[in-house]
Structure 1
């Protein structure tokens, strides 16, 4: 596994700090925050605003938002508050602000992810594109030398091959957009050989061939790979796997949501990792934090979204040839 240098190992979560540092001078990005009606979500928003990452528009029951702010000593002067009677209405209004060109990011507050994503994916009033939406965890694992992307662990439960193509492409686009270069993408399974007895292995083989044919671009794919072969060079060497990805993966693509979610939470609770989260594939990135996230993780999620939104601005500003 790519290990960190001794100096970096003494500074846990240094990879998140690098991302946060890179946002200086990029923002603030106008951000619609849906239903920030508890202390942790409101503090995360205010801290990101103070860091100059985002220019928040607080959407939700204004009386409740102001009461939470007063209770935790936050001064909301200078922040726009858009009144919405409940969480569903807050999600819909946050999406409407993006559609009206008033926000370039959406951030989840203290509502359920399903409520927010329902508005984002609404057929006529949402932010759908031709791309399937998917979630990416950007993991800061103290013993791994670089950010580790895990997808999809929050949106697509049992993705088919076409959905997996979009899941992979979304993660690659994010990695490149963050300035991290062409990623090494491991399509995970329980084994490293293709067998019809494990459908995920055949999907992995198809995804790699799709990359060969230009249906997936911007990354180096290999799979199926078991987890040890994906992140441990020693394990890959022992098993005789020779590839540009094995042992050095930067993106881990899970076969389904359950596997991805368990992998991410394994790293969080057993390896002291942090897991920033973002949803891609809509018109704008969606910062999908968890109610259990600490402040560092919320800040990292904002940093990822801000850097990616800034990269998208540059891409859209380049005229087509």
Structure 2
């Protein structure tokens, strides 16, 4: 039996195979210059250094130079040869990282040991940020050991209570990522608590509208169905019992949650109950943003870098993001 798998009843545990495939694919491509904002703790600096050593990124380290050097020395990390831009604090690091991207000196942006809000504030600044016509949104690319496919969960980190048009961008961003990673045409489930449309649950109405928008070409590149409850989205047996027949039910690859609270709970349940890893990326800006958590392990940070690198390469030959 494969070293990364073991049988438990009828469930195969696939430990990190999906991430291994993504990282291996990214290693075949040119490493991209990456503005790393405030890598001032071991995990964030190690993630950037190990991603560089793996050939995924070329880091530009932005933050207090003495602090970065101290962390590197304390934890045995070799940062010789990497460009370091000395700025006094995390806020300045976020602003400088965005400035470097705007100047075309970096093709990726990576969060270090600062708060996500601090980095995204610099990204979304009207005059100096990295906005496009598309709403910025977050995707968790989840490697769930008990599930055969990589699951994309969106949006569980940026948009708190998105309206219909914001959900349209959230869906399109996730589809574009899935396609850009070379995974084919995604099956997209618009999640709610039930499978029928009812005014008592507004997310079911949004789900139905999003599916119709896809029918009319307002969302492209994926197959949509919704509303679907979580079980009917990922379990063929649950979908069969409920009598739901569609190309998506039971086979969903992208899970679109109704709001941030639901998405956060879903992603953390998968992480802490199913031992999933959750690579994180923000889309809809001028460049992919590697948005990791301070609690992420190095493997997850590596996977986040791999996803961003693969997507950035796919965008090189494509048209800019449209509204």
**Shorter-chain TM-score: what band?**
over 0.9
Q: Which residue of 2 aligns with 1:266?
A: 269
Report the counterpart of residue 220 of structure 1 in structure 2: 223
Match of 1:315, SS state, is coil
Instruction: Give per-residue Cα distances to partners, 1:231-260, cap 9 Å, x unaligned.
Output: 000000001000000000000000000000
For the residues of structure 1 that align with 2:159 and 2:130, how far apart are their CA atoms?
A: 17
Q: 1:38 deviation in Å?
A: 0.2
* TM-aligned CA deviation for residue 5 of structure 1: 8.7
TM superposition shift of 1:6: 6.5
Residue segments in structure 2 that go unaligned for 5+ positions in a row: none
**What is the aligned partner in structure 2 of residue 203 from structure 1?**
206
Residue 160 of structure 2 is aligned to residue 175 of structure 1: no
Runs of 4+ residues over 4 Å off in structure 1: 4-8
Output the aligned Cα RMSD.
Answer: 1.5
Cα distance in structure 1, aligned partners of 2:210 and 2:5? 34
- Count of residues paired in the alignment: 314
Question: Cα offset for 1:314?
Answer: 2.2
Residue 130 of structure 1 corresponds to 133
Partners of 1:222 and 1:80 in 2: CA distance: 47
Give 1:146 deviation, angstroms: 1.2
What's 2:63 paired with? 60
Alignment of 1:106-255 (within 5 A): 106-255=109-258
Offset at 1:10?
A: 5.2
* Distance (Å, rounded) in 2 between the aligned partners of 1:5 and 1:93: 44
Question: Per-residue CA shift, 1:63-85, capped at 9, x if unaligned?
Answer: 11111111111122110000111
Q: Which residue of 2 aligns with 1:94?
A: 97
Match of 2:82 in 1: 79
The TM-score normalised by the length of structure 1 is 0.96
Partners of 1:211 and 1:73 lie apart in 2 by 51
CA distances 1:77-131 after superposition (whole Å, capped 9, x unpaired)? 1100001111010000000000111000000000000000000000000000000
Q: TM-score, normalised by structure 2?
A: 0.95
Instruction: Provide the C-alpha distance between the structure 2 equivalents of 1:10 and 1:89, rounded to a whole number of angstroms.
Output: 44
Out of 286, 292, 302, which is 1:289 matched to?
292
Give the 3 Å change call, closer, same or farther, for CA 246–10 of structure 1 in structure 2: closer
In the TM superposition, what whole-angstrom CA distance separates every residue of 1:9-30 from its partner, at most 9, and x where no partner exists?
3541100000000012212100
Q: 1:63 to 1:287 in 2, by over 3 A?
A: same
- The whole-number CA distance in structure 1 between the counterparts of 2:76 and 2:114 is 22
3-state SS of paired residue (1:42)? helix
The whole-number CA distance in structure 2 between the counterparts of 1:6 and 1:205 is 40
**Equivalent residues in 2 for 1:9-20 (5 A)?**
9=12, 11-20=14-23
CA distance in 1, matches of 2:244, 2:200: 21
Q: 1:316: Cα distance to partner? A: 4.8
Alignment match, 1:36: 39
Three-state SS of the structure 1 residue aligned to 2:225 is strand
Tell me: CA distance 1:219–1:60, structure 2 relative to 1, closer, same or farther (3 Å): same
User: 1:283 & 1:62 partners in 2: Cα distance?
Assistant: 27
| Secondary structure of 2:85 counterpart | strand
**CA distance, structure 1, for counterparts of residue 173 and residue 250 of structure 2:** 22
